[in-house]
A and B are shown apart, each in its own frame.
Chain A
Amino acid sequence: MNKQQREGALRRREPISDTQLLLTITICIFIGMYVMAMLIWGGGFKKPQMLFDILNDNAYLVIISCGLTIVMITGSIDISVGGVTAFVAMVGVMILNGKLSLFNGIIETLSLPESWRIVFAMLMSLLIGLAFGAVQGFLIAHLEIQPFIITLAGMFFARGMITIVSVDPQKAPQDLMDILQTRISIPWLGSVNKKGVLIPARMEIGVVIAVVVVVIIFILLYKRRLGRCFYAVGGNRQSALMLGVNVRKTRFLAHLLCGILSGIAGFVFMMHTGAGNATNATAAEMNAIASSIIGGTLLTGGVGNVIGTFFGVLTLSTIKSIVTTSGLRDPWWQSITTGAMLCFFILLQSVVLMRKNRGKNKKRKEDGKKDEA
């Protein structure tokens, strides 16, 4: 290769990377699907409130999926997230409705106002998430136990703990829920109903939290050393070690972060529903994995980003809304369509990546031949 050629190669525009390509596909598909839904079913989909409803209902899932994306980027997995979320929600509700005597005692002795219960619920959410993340992360990173098995155990443990805390479903008191369910009104995105009254679009605080989480994790993954270490560890663990990355610490922190995010997700879930129930957030871990994958995160590690995950959650929940709107109200239709869509997405991803990389390999081979000649 002579100098001129090299300079030409250096000046050439960078080809789109796998991550960017997968992200673009996800966003395009989401927008395409949403527009299609607007055209076919009109009605609800034409109102911005539909999008906000999807966001309100799935804010917790966005947060869980962000955590899972981090873990998946490092080439690991965490299936305890749904259980932790539900456990946190149950504990939160019981702090609010005063069925956990420990917190009643603290509030009485310090003579704090009732609204302080929300603060305690928040702190407990973080603490429980942190504890799950730390224990699982330690076992996975330092004792090198299979992440799937550890987090499977974590899932059973969390689900079991819910029933230990309370066998019966719990409900948060209305006065506190009113504070938590404060909605942000956005009048310019509202719509006029049949009587000609303007109903502003409403967004819950949980959505704001979810968006903040997405932005923070995005910056972490892109701009911080730790974030790049997640990618390095997921790309090739042995190489990362040789490159001077502290692999154990990185893997531990990934799981710790995922745990904390599950805690936050639990609190957001509680804010949305105000109910504690053993069947809360059932299969949330599976939905989160599906969302991450739709968003372009690879189960094999090293590739993925949270913007994609965010759109992954939106895509997944939009599919579900479409299924419901189109009249297939039986729950199994949602599962079947979700399954089919997931399959379609993964096929699409691998076909696109394969085509892209095959072109490249072919070109490399031809270059080699030219050089030999």
Chain B
Amino acid sequence: MQEDTVLTMRGICKSFPGVRALANVDFTLRRGTIHALMGENGAGKSTLIKVLTGVYPMDEGEIRIDGIDGTINIRSPQEAQNYGISTVYQEITLCPNLTVAENMFIGRTQKKSVDWKTMEKRAGELLENLGIPARPKQQLGSCSLAVQQMVAIARAVDTDCKVLILDEPTSSLDDNEVSMLFGLMRELKTRGVGIIFVTHFLEQVYEVSDYITVLRNGELVGEFTVKDLPQVQLVATMIGRDLDSLSSMKKGKASALPTDSSVYEAEGLSSTESRPFDFHIAKGEVNGFTGLLGSGRSESVRAIFGADPVTGGKVKMNGKNVKISKPLDAMKHGIGYLPEDRKRDGIIADLSVRENIILALQVIKGMTHPFSRAKAEAIADEYIRTLAIKTASSDTPIKSLSGGNQQKVILARWLLTHPQYLILDEPTRGIDVGTKTEIQKLVLQLAEEGMSITFISSEIEEMLRTCSRLIVMRDRNIVGELKDEELTQERVMHTIAGGGE
């Protein structure tokens, strides 16, 4: 082990039934550095962290830590902590009903009685030392999220910590809070703590990190210093294509140019989850939001539909001012939304296919005017036929259908309401290639018939094939808009990465 390394992981392998989550991954952490761990969804970041913290046992490989000869075997989070590996998770794992001081010390001593004075004094010293704006006697629940996060970090570093893992610590913080957190991270760095920083915010990586390790599909892509890896290259490494090979790829077919009349127009629209943004879509246009996971693309369309509480902004439909603050408003104005999380927001698992299909139309019609059974059956059968939904009958509960067919049922639900504007958030996720193509074709066909569609997908090729305009988001802001000949994979990736060289 070299002088300045605190942690080395060599040849880590981990498989779950049917999936190889980590294949021969190496990772080295140096003393007093911040090391970003990057990768898209399913790249193996969280598995690697969980192996290191003893949540999952590893299948193969070795872990060494500074100060201990030979390899170590971490079997539980408690053991990891004893080796000096502390973790602060995205969700704050403290007790809101206890005081700040208690949260920093509970569960760490075997002493039977609580010495409040000493505990609060020590907590006060540590908080002051690290510059955390919290009082030891304060109830934790009354602190802001960022401060709670920092208290968790203070607790972690107080336990003679060599390795600090921060798993998406910034995802629920605002800019101001993030910079407070970064201040604390830099402070810890000067004290020689090695920090593993997991995040999907590119800017933040470049703001604080020294090294970047990129994982993809459970494999190590490489370790880089921040200087050597410009943002665009990082995105390419994460997504896994060389820029050169991308340039040569055939450009997707864009749909016909939209006419000028805007079906939907938003100015400064914001919700509790999204920042203010401007957006418009014309009749018969297919456009898309793109960006890395967590860039705010889903949050933006949710704001359009009123799925999260809307906090501000002006919305016009067909030139007239309208107020859309909840999904029912949006539906009444002819907006449909196919949600990203099908299981949670889309299907009603125990209801039949038929009931799931007529649901949205029924809601618009009102509860007091139920459809007759015959009418509902006729409608359901029609859509089952036209969308080729594979189901035993319209009476089958939707939960027994495959993912792709469930998705078609939700699509049928919205098509039935004849929306002017349809939002499809990841309609092709987790479904087979055949159905994917069918859905893409359907999108283009609907647009030709005059429907406006916003299409979101993690697969850039898919969006290039269907959209005539792409809105690019990064770190929860719109950073660019691409259309016509700008719609190449290379351009999209450059914009996602922030045009960095």
Contact = CB atoms under 8 A, between A and B. Distances in A.
Contacts of B176: 368, 371-372
Contact of B135 (A5, A9, A223, A231): A9
B236 interface: no
Contacts of B142: 15, 360
Given A14-B138, A229-B106, A224 B112 contact: yes
Nearest to B128: A10
A44 B135 CA distance: 49
Given A9-B135, A224-B114, A244-B108, A239 B78 contact: no
B113 A243 contact: no
A147 interface: no
Contacts of A226: 112
Contacts of B42: none
Contacts of B107: 229, 232, 240, 243-245
Interface string A337-360: 000000000000000000000001
A362 interface: no
Contacts of B135: 9-10, 12, 14
Contacts of A232: 95, 98, 102, 106-107
A303 B97 contact: yes
Contacts of B116: 223
B499 interface: no
A285 B97 CA distance: 26
A225 B95 contact: no
B132 to A, nearest CB: 9
A243 B138 contact: no
Interface string A10-23: 10101101100000
Contacts of B102: 228, 232
B95 A302 contact: yes
A239 B95 contact: yes
B111 interface: yes
Contact of B113 (A12, A15, A225, A236): A225
A243 B109 contact: no
A335 interface: no
A195 interface: no
Contacts of B113: 223-225
A236 B96 contact: yes
A346 to B, nearest CB: 18
B97 A302 contact: yes
Interface of A (DSSP majority class) = helix
Interface in B87-144: 89, 92-98, 102-103, 106-109, 111-114, 116, 124, 128, 131, 133, 135, 137-139, 142, 144
B70 to A, nearest CB: 26
B77 interface: yes
A242 interface: yes
Nearest to B180: A1
Contacts of A234: 97
A120 B213 CA distance: 70
Nearest to B155: A243
A364 interface: yes
- Which of B78, B97, B102, B174 has the most CB atoms of chain A within a 10 A radius of its CB? B97
B105 to A, nearest CB: 9
Contacts of B89: 242
Interface of B (DSSP majority class) = loop
A360 B142 CA distance: 8
Given A224-B113, A231-B98, A302-B95, A243 B137 contact: no
A213 B106 CA distance: 25
A6 interface: yes
A368 B175 CA distance: 10
B108 to A, nearest CB: 6
A235 B96 contact: yes
Interface string B140-152: 0010100000000
B139 A225 contact: no
Interface in B283-314: none
A224 B110 CA distance: 11
Nearest to B112: A225
Contact of A243 (B94, B96, B128): B94
A243 B133 contact: no
B95 A231 contact: yes
Contacts of A17: 139
A238 interface: yes
B97 A231 contact: yes
A228 B93 contact: no
Contacts of B124: 10
Contacts of B175: 372
B222 to A, nearest CB: 32
A364 B144 contact: yes
Given A243-B94, A364-B144, A225 B109 contact: yes
A303 B97 CA distance: 7
Contacts of B139: 17-18
A244 to B, nearest CB: 3
Contacts of A227: 114
Contacts of B138: 14
Contacts of B114: 222-225, 227-228
Contacts of A225: 109, 111-114
Given A10-B135, A15-B142, A242 B106 contact: no
A236 B93 CA distance: 8
Nearest to B145: A364
- Which of A231, A234, A235 has the most CB atoms of chain B within a 10 A radius of its CB? A235
B93 A238 contact: yes
Nearest to B115: A223
Given A14-B137, A236-B95, A302-B97, A228 B106 contact: yes
Nearest to A12: B135
Interface in B39-96: 77-78, 81, 89, 92-96
8 contacts: A1-B180, A225-B113, A231-B95, A236-B96, A238-B93, A239-B94, A242-B93, A243-B103
Given A15-B142, A224-B114, A236-B93, 6 more contacts: A222-B114, A224-B112, A227-B114, A232-B107, A238-B93, A240-B106
Nearest 10 interchain pairs by C-beta: A244-B107, A235-B95, A302-B97, A235-B97, A242-B93, A243-B107, A239-B93, A245-B107, A14-B137, A232-B95
